[in-house]
Amino acid sequence: MIDYDKWAEIFSSIKRHKLRTFLTALSVWWGIFMLVLLLGLGKGLENSVVHNFRDDAMNSLWIWPGRTTMPYKGLPVGRRLRFTNADYDRLKNQIDGVESITGRYYLRGEFTVKYKKKNLSFHIRAVHPDHLILENTIMMTGRYINDKDIDEYRKVCVIGQKVATDFFGKEEPIGSSLKIKGVDYKIVGTFYDDGSKRELETIYLPISTTQRVESANGRINQLMITLGDVPVEKSFEVEKRIREELSVQHNFDINDKQAIYIRNSAEDFQEFQTVFMFIKGFLWFVGIGSILAGVIGVSNIMLIVVKDRTKEIGIRKAMGATPNSILAMILQEAVFLTAIAGYIGMISGFAIIYGINYLLVTNGVELEYFRNPEVNFMTILYALILLVVSGALAGLIPAQQAVKINPVIAMKS
């Protein structure tokens, strides 16, 4: 049964202390609102970084040649290293733990890609078949570059979705040819990539064909490998083995970190997870701190309410009111105030976060360091329950003081 008289008393008490009630409710609202907002914005930042990692194979090593900065066996400092097909073969056949491997060669000079009367500029990469795995490329139509293309020096290409749209619109591009630096390449596939728009503006060629056309003498600009499901510690061992192998081939000191650059994506992701663990902890610390400030405000206003209603409470006890009924009256008001303000704060926070997400999606805006802000509803619900329980505990001290009031002294106050 609903005790309408008790609820009428609660609303009457709130009405008599409008300003203090509003300020207390505001502090509770602000606490849960800030928690939702901070967690949502933090998740947006985390999603953007995770999305950037999705563009490439997670457990991979990216290797670039550099310049020597240390003397080695009488050779001068400042020598520029260059990778070749021999380095590709050596890493593929002699390094344990390599799951897939590809090289990259970039076309030199300024040029445009031609199709009929259209001349457009796109990114060109000459690669091996395993590049599909390294870049997490998603084939839409046709096929990717294969071993036969490499072995037979075929003039074929695979184009990104943006390239296909700009050249062919709604027409089927498979079987057509693009002219790149005076050479016709037959389109054998189209792809999509979860990375940046730049990836969709890319054309892939067989690396052997490009090396021959460019008279590159087997040169490779970059090497990339995947390591499968190995722990980060194992990837460090493979990284060390690669340095040892390349140092012998290119005559540089193995401790010369500038001779070759190696980016370990598994290590990068592990560092990212560690950083975000601390960020999440800090956000929860700030959010819980804001909530506790609101709970303290509830306790303070309930102390004031008890003090203002001392005479009334004394009369109630003189007329036979039990300690439990008085305790329940004070606690009910504290829980009601906390729950309502907390619920409104939660809804406000969700409205802001998903409002931002809606605007970004509908307007097609992609921010580099912010993507799909969201909040786990159950997490916030647990926080709200914790808030209500805390509100009850905050009202417990004032309620106990009310129970201890001497009816005779209270009625003389």
> What amino acid occupies position 322?
T
| CA distance to 18, 26, 130, 375, 393, per residue, from 290 (Å) | 22, 11, 51, 18, 17
Q: Is 8 strand, coil or helix?
A: helix
Tokens linked to 209: 């064909």
Contacts of 148 (CB under 8 A, 6+ apart): 154
Residue-level pLDDT, tens digit, the chain, 413 residues: 556 666 776 777 677 777 777 877 787 788 788 888 888 888 887 777 666 655 555 678 899 999 999 988 888 899 999 999 999 999 998 888 888 899 999 988 778 899 988 999 898 999 999 999 888 888 999 999 999 999 999 999 999 999 999 999 888 999 999 999 989 999 999 998 876 677 888 999 999 999 999 988 899 999 999 887 777 778 888 888 999 899 988 999 988 989 999 888 776 667 777 777 887 788 778 777 777 777 777 777 666 666 666 676 677 777 776 777 777 777 777 778 778 888 888 888 888 888 888 887 777 666 656 777 777 777 777 777 777 777 777 666 666 766 666 666 656 65
Of residues 307, 319, 333, 336, the one with CA closest to residue 404:
307
Q: Is 256 strand, coil or helix?
A: coil
- Strand 118-120 to strand 123-127: parallel, antiparallel, or no bridges (unpaired)? unpaired
pLDDT score of 38: 83
Cα–Cα distance measured from residue 74 to residue 71, given in angstroms and rounded to the nearest whole number? 7
pLDDT score of 54: 54
Cα–Cα distance measured from residue 283 to residue 278, given in angstroms and rounded to the nearest whole number? 9
The answer to whether 94 touches 76, Cβ cutoff 8 Å, is no
Contacts of 108 (CB under 8 A, 6+ apart): 214
Tell me the sheet residues that pair with 61: 225, 264
For 159-231, where are the alpha helices, taking DSSP H only?
A: 161-168, 197-200, 207-213
Contacts of 218 (CB under 8 A, 6+ apart): 84, 85, 86, 211
The backbone torsions φ and ψ at residue 224, rounded to the nearest 5 degrees and listed phi first, read: -140, 140
pLDDT score of 114: 93
Q: Is 383 exposed, middle or buried (0-12, 13-18, 19+ CB in 10 A)?
A: buried
- Burial code (b: 16+ CB inside 10 Å, e: under 16) for 201-224 equals bbbbbbbbbbbebbebebbbbbbb
Model-level pTM?
A: 0.64
Q: Is 342 strand, coil or helix?
A: helix
How many other C-beta atoms are found inside a 10 Å radius of the C-beta of residue 112? 12
| Alpha-carbon torsion, ordered 39, 52, 142, 227, to 10 deg | -110
pLDDT score of 185: 95
HSE at residue 157, side-chain half, CA atoms within 13 A, is: 26
The answer to whether 112 touches 31, Cβ cutoff 8 Å, is no
Cα–Cα distance measured from residue 198 to residue 28, given in angstroms and rounded to the nearest whole number? 46
Q: Is 196 strand, coil or helix?
A: coil
Kindly provide the residue ranges of all beta strands, DSSP E only, lying in 149-218, ordered along the sequence: 156-160, 177-180, 183-192, 202-206
